[in-house]
Amino acid sequence: MATVIALLPARSTADGTHRRLLEEALLRFGERGFHGVSVREIAEAAGIRASSIYAHLESKEELLFQLMYIGHEEHYEMLRHALLDAGADPFSQIRHVVAAHVRLHATYPLLARVCNRELPALSEANRDRVLTIRSNSEQLILDVINRGMSRGVFHVSDPWLGYAAIGSMGIRVAEWWDQRAYDIEDVAETYADFAVRLLSGAPAT
């Protein structure tokens, strides 16, 4: 096996062929998108015929949904645990949360890309399930920012824009991390610095 690190979080309970399908689908969806990859290609990469997929999944979309659900769950859980580890200091909180955000995107870059690109390919019901988790993560970060604001240690003209900017920095790590020679922890530290600077800098102009 060429992959040194796991493609999927341990959270995925799928095993055997099911897991193999998720992994091979992830590799391809991550590179060429949901609509750019056929069921036959995934099946044959997993060593079975296309028709055999339907013993494990009810549709191609379910493959995408399971990946996106696992990805969003893992992300939220990483943020939540990071916050629990951070204590009560807003600086520590934002540093822990941003570092976890970055780590997720560098550890599972393909999963993160799929999660951030393929929302429109999901049925409305499945999209809603994913968006529910996403809004929990958004709220978690916004809570940290707002708390820091009300304690007077963070100063931004608009908290949501602060959230958007910090979130964006991390999301994009999934697009370049595996092509560059950075250490995950260095990036996580640096981005945590960036977030602190961005939120706490003296009000500009």
Partner DNA sequence: CGGAAACGAACGACCGTTAGGTCGTCGGCG
Partner DNA sequence: CGCCGACGACCTAACGGTCGTTCGTTTCCG
| 67 binds its own copies, rule: CB under 8 A | no
Interface residue with its own copies among 34, 65, 76, 154 (CB under 8 A) is 34
Residue 125 contacts DNA per CB under 7 A:
no
Distance CA 153, CA 21 (A): 48
Contacts by 75-78 with C-beta closer than 8 Å and gap 24+? 75/101, 75/104, 75/112, 75/115, 75/133, 75/137, 76/133, 76/136, 76/137, 76/140, 77/11, 78/103, 78/104
Comparing C-alpha atoms, which of 170, 167, 115, 114 is closest to residue 142?
A: 167
We find the least distance from the C-beta atom of residue 24 to DNA, in angstroms, to be: 13
Q: Which range binds its own copies by CB under 8 A, 4-12, 53-61, 124-132, 186-194?
A: 186-194
Q: What angle do CA 56, 25, 58 make, to 5 degrees?
A: 30
Instruction: Identify the CA nearest to 65 among candidates 127, 112, 134.
Output: 127
Please count the other Cβ atoms lying within 10 Å of the Cβ belonging to residue 76.
19
Q: What is the DSSP letter of 33?
A: -
59 binds, among DNA, its own copies, none (CB under 5 to 8 A by kind): DNA
- Under the binding rule (CB under 8 A), the answer on residue 68 touching its own copies is no
Spell out, one character per residue from 10 to 39, where the chain touches DNA: x when CB under 7 A holds, - when not. Answer: ------xx-------------------xxx
In the complex, least distance from residue 15 CB atom to its own copies, rounded to whole angstroms:
30
Q: How many residues does the chain have?
A: 205
Using the rule CB under 8 A, is 178 a contact of its own copies? no
Which is nearer to DNA, 121 or 145 (by Cβ)? 121
User: Which among its own copies, DNA, none contacts residue 38 (Cβ within 5 to 8 A by kind)?
Assistant: DNA
CB of 22 to DNA, least distance (A): 13
CA distance 28 to 118: 13
Give the one residue of 19, 33, 80, 136 binding its own copies; rule: CB under 8 A: 33
The reply to whether 60 sits near DNA by the rule CB under 7 A is: yes
Residues that bind its own copies (CB under 8 A): 31-36, 117, 120-121, 156-158, 161-162, 164-165, 167-173, 176, 182, 186-187, 190-191, 193-194, 196-198, 200-201, 204-205
